[in-house]
Chain A
Amino acid sequence: MSGEYVSKLEKKLSSGGFAVTAELGPPRGANENVIAEKAKLLSCWVDGVNITDNQTAIVRMSSIAACVHVLEAGLEPIMQMVTRDRNRIALQSDLLGAYSLGIRNILCLSGDHHVFGSQPDALGVFDVDSIQLLRIVDEMRRSGRDMSGYQLDTPPRMFVGAAANPFADPFDYRVIRLAKKIDAGARFIQTQCIYNLERFRGWMSRLCQEGLTEKVYILGGVTPLKSAGMAKYMAQKVAGMDIPEAVIRRMEGVPREKAAREGVKIALETIHELQTIAGVRGVHIMAIENEQAVGALVEEARLMKIPGCLEGE
């Protein structure tokens, strides 16, 4: 891999570091202070923060704008870009705009289906899929050309990532799909939340066998559970989520006021396990609307702290 890095996240991963990324959801409104506040909670503890793109198909401040606010707060954004809402013309245009604003990491996704959102009557665009978007971004990086073949004046050169869900069906195809994402240009992968470590280990060993872990940095997804109710809800209602019965029973087995702590303990154990699995190069902590939990978790897991960083500044 080249010695020139486009982002701090790329540099950390390329130099063998164990990366930590988190997630920050833009507000349902135009108040940039919400982002600044959330960014403060994360700034000492992560290498980069994913800025979601109208997650769950609910209208929020745009990912690009929120990325800029995060940059201003001194944090490195990972711009999520979904293919649900924009055709190829708009996606490419926004890529150029994002790069011009200093955004250097991108995560390419198809996006949560709009029928689950607040405006299920919308048209789903899906002109291209997530793998095609990866290739569009990668092609701009490698050849400097847009999809029409036009040589761009200052092409965006992004550190490109994709998502993977080791727990979704059909299991056997998941490895092929990841290989396709790598072929299309993905350099890092953030996975779905991991609660079923056995299945995750099985998936990782398949990736190792196929030589895929040599080609891509895998960041394991971790979400601290807040309650037994949350665990059950996610197990039943969230598509592609695998929460074993044992984890749910463990959350049910503690008094309600200690449930959040138990959730953090499970997350800590998961992080420690992930650090021992060959090919895992970092963690992606998705503490949904619970950003203050991220710093505590990273500190307790002794993962990292940005040198000289003063919390809350």
Chain B
Amino acid sequence: MNISAIALVGNPNVGKSVLFHRLTGAYVNVSNYPGTTVEVARASARFDAAVDLIDTPGVLTLPARSDDERATMRALLNEPLRAVVQVGDAKNLRRTLTLTALLAELGVPAVLALNMHDEAGARGVTVDAPALADALGIPVVPTVATGGEGIAQLTHHLADTRGLQPLLHYDATAEMAIADLAPRIATHAPHPRLTARGLAILYLGQDNEVEAWLRQAAGEAYAELATARDAAHAQGVTPAALAHERGEAAGTLAARFTARTAQSSPLLAHRVGQWVIHRVWAWPILLGVLFSVYEFVGVFGAGTLVGLMEETLFGETLNPAITQFVQSHVGLPWLADLLVGQYGLWTMGMTYALALILPIVTTFFIAFGLLEDSGYFARLSVLANRLFKLIGLNGRAVLPMVLGLGCVTMATLTTRILHSPRERLITIFLMALAIPCSAQLGVVLGLLGGISFSATLTWVAAMVAVLMLAGFLAAKLIPGRRIPLVTEMPPMRLPLIGNVAKKTVGRLKWYLIEVIPLFLLGTLIMFVLDQIGALPAIIRAGEPLVSGWLGLPKEASAAFVMGFLRRDFGATGLFALSRQLSPIQAVVGMVTITLFVPCIASVMMIIKEQGLKIAAAMLALIVPFAFLVGGVLNHLLRTVWGAGA
């Protein structure tokens, strides 16, 4: 870590992470929805290796209210910041300047990057950047981060950053309260970089991070600060009143420097954005999107590509050659068996990871990246809102859940965009229970798609029913109230192929680094269990549950043992048994393994986000619940379809 840092700060979805990539060369996930970045990212700047650049989560409001906003506030308080690059949306100068007004009070040297000025131009919005720079007293650089426009100019100005001019004076009562509090902060809790006045405004605005910082820095004198704040609140100096004044000042300034020309007709992107959430057209569009994903991932990825990899490349070429090589060169029979036997590290571990899973996750990540960057995911929150109301959530929770279809571990982190601890807890629980990750989803689609479309549909219906039922019960049991949905719709955009490719490669790299060691470890455990005779014993012990209750072949017990390590590993075990499974067995097996324990990485993330007790309680609920649902479904399907199906 360098001793000097520059932070990129701004509203959500304004292009901070793209700019971070331009300025550092380091890639962090970039998508077209607010809340892609939930933690700070750090890398050395290209223009000066001695400077760390810090990418922060977007802030809708400061004082911070959500977990991701708090992460940004912590960066402002604790990082050795030399300057801040405020990234703003040129189409929305008012909101940009509302944040600028607060940064000005904090006294941090700054540069304003007015990003996406191409989109602003297309909508008839132009900003007089030089005049705005004069008014603010800092450089204002129009940029198009995706195209690299304005980056050189921005870098040039970073060598010469200046403090912002104050944008407003609050009303007399507020100014008196600030004037009362700021000297106390300067005396009892001076900050090395931020002004006491700025901290006073944030403290009056009830920013929890600032409060925690002041509490620690002031020690016993904190009580004096708290008394002064309470007195100010009693006089009407409330967070809402302060925010309103900042908004008004920003609005006035924005109006001075923004010109708008009337558009003859709405942009195509605008119209598409409305169609996809239209009360009628939204549903056929959604079905079309889902069907396209199914065709690309389930049919092309899990069918065609897996066929090529598993049967042709591995089955006919690689595995026979490697098996022959190992058997002729490795003298120890047990070692040869460990490498290329039934539970061999190559023939099972690597073959599952590379031949079965890799083609599936690759196609999934491509489809996912395209949808992410188009702006469609954010609109799903509007479509899902009514349904999510039933489970005590609002449509915003659809974002982590959809991201969970990529990787539940990362999506667990994304729940930080939700506004209440209750929403986060319910969403994390539902993801751990009923959201399959891409690898598992691909295996499910590959197995059930190969049987029939109705088998796939039955699995989908079962998962949605479980999700709704579990969510409904969780919402009833977990205290707290539901927060109604208010959300911004990002513009619909044509995805940039380069960004989708970068994201796909990054995700595949992360996936393979996580998956291959776990698949090899799982295979090793299976091998050892088989060698010491424990696997047959486990299969026998699991027979009443697996064969009796779930109606699966007894060998499926092994898949559930594998599922303890990763659900997709277990699902792949069932996939390998597919020739022995009837359609009902395939559906029941896949529903049970989908609901089964989340992977080790997800459990670790749940512990990190929710604590050990909650994670343990979730696991204690999930495992029996998975078998309960699987058994009920088995008996239901046998009654409806007949035992012979």
The finding on whether chains A and B are genuine partners in a shared complex, rather than unrelated, reads no
Which residues of B are in contact with A by a Cβ distance under 8 Å? none
Which residues of A are in contact with B by a Cβ distance under 8 Å? none
